[in-house]
Amino acid sequence: MGLFRATPLALDDRLPVDAALDEAFAPLRARTANISPARVRAAVRWSRPEPAQIGRTALLARISEITTAAVISAFVFSASLASLAASPYVPDVSRDPVVTGTWVPNGRNAFQRPMDTRATDYRTIAGDIAANAMTIRRASGQTGFDQEQTPSNR
Amino acid sequence: MTARSRKADGVETEPRGDRELVHAARAGEVLAFDNLFYRYRDGIYRLAISITKDPSAAEEIVVDTFARAHRALERLEPDDSLRPWLYRVAVNLSYNRQPRKGVTFSSLDDGVFDLPAEGESPTEAAERGERRRVVLDCVDSLGPKHKVVVVLYYLNGLNLAEIAEIADVPVGTVKSRLHYALRKLRVQLSSHPGLDFEPGTVFGATHSEMHTLAGQG
């Protein structure tokens, strides 16, 4: 095939193409790049590996960061476990508290959960105070109601 | 910036060659690397922009090329010129860069060249601009191997030996590619009636070869 035949380039044939290419590339040939070498240095600096001294320091810093993170994680995890262990007792409502004897009558025709022996029964204390107050009033001739508020005084 | 170096006493000396500059840059002289940069920056930029058609991409390619050169300073051993090495990196980076889809770039600088020159009518200027666009379109239609040879030869003004070094092929192959590219360009330009190219006189191509070449555009 004659397509790839090594034919000599005729000057008359080549000159118009040369001129056309020269003219076509002229605007491009006049263009310049507004780039400074500082941009290259910045690109090199960003991709440059760290010096050994900085690398060791960075390694120590990274180890301390990891240690701190591990300690904080362990603290948070143990605290969450402790809060689970200290959760309040939830009575099993599926069981009949009366039958099982866990609940006791509260004196008002109802049942209540038995009070912890370690707890202070302020109701009892309040009841004692009220009883003492009534006793004092009776001793001084007063009833449990104020005189102004009794219906007979109205 | 000129390639001339200036000493502290203000006496200009002869510009240093690439080999000296590379050795100086390797020794840590910042100005030596800057000299290399300014010496080849524009050529690489033009080469990249002719391949990518993207000015911002061309700038990035220039930066990437010199960044690679900076990292390779220790093992660079330029005999005479650093140019083939830099251009080879730039060509590879240009062709490896993925073009942005659906985006075409045109520079305002191109419009300046369409303005009528002194003693030229607006019609002639418009014809000149149209002729230039047709020629560049024909160059773009060439295959990568042929296009690179044409761009390096006609735009960057490199000789055949340097192009051979950049393309990593023998000089004879460069000649062949240039010859084939010019034949094809001649045929394509002949198909435009407004251009002064006569079909049938394409470097000795026959009539059937002309049709074959035109069909491969």
Give the Å distances, CA to CA, from B32 to B5, B12, B36, B38, B41: 9, 15, 6, 10, 14
Q: What is the pLDDT of residue B119?
A: 73
Residue A24 contacts B where some CB pair is shorter than 8 Å: yes
Q: What angle do CA A120, A124, A129 make, to 5 degrees?
A: 120
What pairing do the DSSP bridges indicate for beta strands B5-6 and A104-105?
Answer: unpaired
Q: Radius of gyration over alpha carbons of chain A, in Å?
A: 49
Please tell me what DSSP assigns to residue A144: S
Q: How far is B202 from chain A (nearest CA, A)?
A: 6
Report the candidate in B26, B29, B40 with the shortest Cα–Cα distance to residue B5: B29
Q: What is the pLDDT of residue A4?
A: 47
Residue A118 contacts B where some CB pair is shorter than 8 Å: no
Q: What is the pLDDT averaged over residues A70-96? A: 79
Chain A partners of B132 at a C-beta cutoff of 8 Å? Answer: 23-24, 26-27
Q: Which residue on chain B is closest to A16 by alpha carbon?
A: B197
Q: How far is B194 from chain A (nearest CA, A)?
A: 13
Give the Å distances, CA to CA, from B173 to A41, B141, B154, B213: 37, 20, 17, 19
For the stretch B18-61, pLDDT in tens is 888 888 888 888 888 889 899 999 999 999 998 888 888 899 99
Q: What is the pLDDT averaged over residues A16-37? A: 85
pLDDT band at A44 (very low <50, low <70, confident <90, very high): confident
Chain A partners of B135 at a C-beta cutoff of 8 Å? Answer: 20-21, 23-24
Q: How far is A49 from chain B (nearest CA, A)?
A: 11
Q: Do A31 and B45 touch (CB under 8 A)?
A: yes
Q: Which residue on chain B is closest to A38 by alpha carbon?
A: B34
Residue type, B184: K
Q: What angle do CA A13, A16, A17 make, to 5 degrees?
A: 85
What's the rounded Cα separation, in Å, for the pair B207 and A90?
101
Closest Cβ opposite residue B209 in set A3, A26, A37: A3
Please report, in tens digits, the pLDDT of each residue of chain B (217 residues total).
444 444 444 444 567 788 888 888 888 888 888 898 999 999 999 999 988 888 888 999 999 999 998 888 888 776 767 888 899 999 999 988 866 666 666 655 555 566 667 777 788 778 778 888 888 888 888 888 999 999 999 998 888 998 998 888 999 999 999 999 988 888 888 887 766 666 544 444 444 544 554 444 4
Chain B partners of A29 at a C-beta cutoff of 8 Å? Answer: 46, 155
Q: What is the pLDDT averaged over residues A36-46? A: 86
What's the rounded Cα separation, in Å, for the pair B45 and A40?
14
Chain A partners of B131 at a C-beta cutoff of 8 Å? Answer: 20, 23-24
Q: How far is B168 from chain A (nearest CA, A)?
A: 21
Q: Do A21 and B135 touch (CB under 8 A)?
A: yes
Contacts A–B by Cβ distance under 8 A: 121
Report the candidate in B164, B161, B205, B160 with the shortest Cα–Cα distance to residue B184: B205
Best A31, A32, A48 member to test B by mutation, with max B CBs in 10 Å, is A31
For the stretch A121-150, pLDDT in tens is 666 777 778 888 888 877 776 555 555 555
